[in-house]
Structure 1
Amino acid sequence: MEEFEELTADVLKDFINITPTRYNTSQKKLCFAIIKRMYRRVKMGYKNLGGIKICNDKGIVIDGNHRYITYLLAGIEIEYIIWTSSLCDEVILYKEVEIDETKDWDEYLYDKRKFIKDKNFIESYNKENKNDFFP
């Protein structure tokens, strides 16, 4: 596991404002708590959080906006999965996206709530990845 500093909202905002991205988004908000948690886990060595679905025609992330920003922040390779978007998806630059610092969106999703705690995430990750990772 490499040494790293815990992500702050200011560091995230600065990164988004100055870093050019290959893809944009159609989301108007991102959740800081989710990105912070994913960033910590990626830095702990759990890098297989899944690919990013993108629409090349519009140049946007369809599924995986939080992972996309996390992977860029952590400087790790991104697996892109070609997908389609809705006709109503508008292109939004990441630097125009609002960062929600007040809520942890995963608290509202039953199937994700249990993964807020690192211990639960690590147990599930190791099962899904056949215990081939031992930090």
Structure 2
Amino acid sequence: MIEITAELIKDFLNDIDIKLVSTHNRLSLPVIKRIYKKMKYGIKFDEIKICDHLVIDGHHRYLSSLLAQIEIGTIKTLKTSATKEYKWDEVEFDENDWDTNHKIQYLNEKDAAYNELDVEIVNRIISE
């Protein structure tokens, strides 16, 4: 499994043709790393929400799916008047974890239930 870094992501994004555009200018690197690990181990996720060519909800999942080379589903939604587009090379990758330990455990439990797995399996995946 590759080590996900901000530099690796930026290089990766420069090398591929990305179909969807970001509506966030910052993403959390630790969140991307956790989702990437889960995807590489076969954990399935909910669809991301898009409007036309824009990611509205699911930026971390979308980027993780590209890195893991895993298809993720999409569902259509609406954008608001406040929605802004950002080129992927404008997106900053924050080294800080945006999730608390409590939220990480909650998400692991949710992912385990969605995939019909014991939560300890999901906990082990992200700790590797």
Query: If the length of structure 1 is used for normalisation, what is the TM-score?
Result: 0.77
Q: Is the 8 A contact 1:16 1:94 kept in 2?
A: yes
Say what the alpha-carbon RMSD is for the aligned residues: 2.4
Could you tell me which residue of structure 2 aligns to residue 82 of structure 1?
76
Deviation of 1:21 (Å) = 1.0
* Partner residue in 2 for 1:25: 22
- Report the residue type matching 1:18 in the other structure: D
Farther-moved stretch of structure 1 (9-18 vs 79-88): 9-18
Task: Show the counterpart of 1:130.
Answer: 116
Paired with 1:8 and 1:80, the residues of 2 have a C-alpha distance of 26
Which residue among 40, 43, 49 is the counterpart of 1:53?
A: 49
Runs of 4+ in 1 over 4 A off after TM superposition: none
- The aligned counterpart of 2:33 is 36
Query: Structure 1 residue 85: deviation in Å?
Result: 0.3
Residue 105 of structure 1 aligns to a residue in which SS? coil
**Amino acid aligned to 2:72:** I
Contact 1:6 1:40 in 2 (8 A): no
Structure 1 unaligned regions, length at least 5: none
Shift of 1:125: 2.9
Distance 2:113 2:60 in 1: 23
Partner of 2:27, secondary structure, is strand
1:19 counterpart letter in structure 2: I
Gaps of 5+ in 2: 123-128
In the alignment, what sits opposite 1:15? 12
Query: How high is the TM-score relative to the length of structure 2?
Result: 0.81
SS in structure 1 of the partner of residue 100 of structure 2:
helix
- Alpha-carbon distance, 1:127 to partner: 2.7
Q: Once structures 1 and 2 are overlaid, which stretch shifts more, 4-13 or 25-34?
A: 4-13
Matched positions, count: 120
**1:113 matches 2:110:** no
What one-letter code is carried by the residue in structure 2 that aligns with 1:125? D
Write the distance in 2 (CA, Å) between the matches of 1:55 and 1:94. 17
User: What are the superposed Cα offsets for residues 34-86 of structure 1, whole Å, 9 maximum, x if unpaired?
Assistant: 0011111111221x121110001xx2100000000001111111201001101
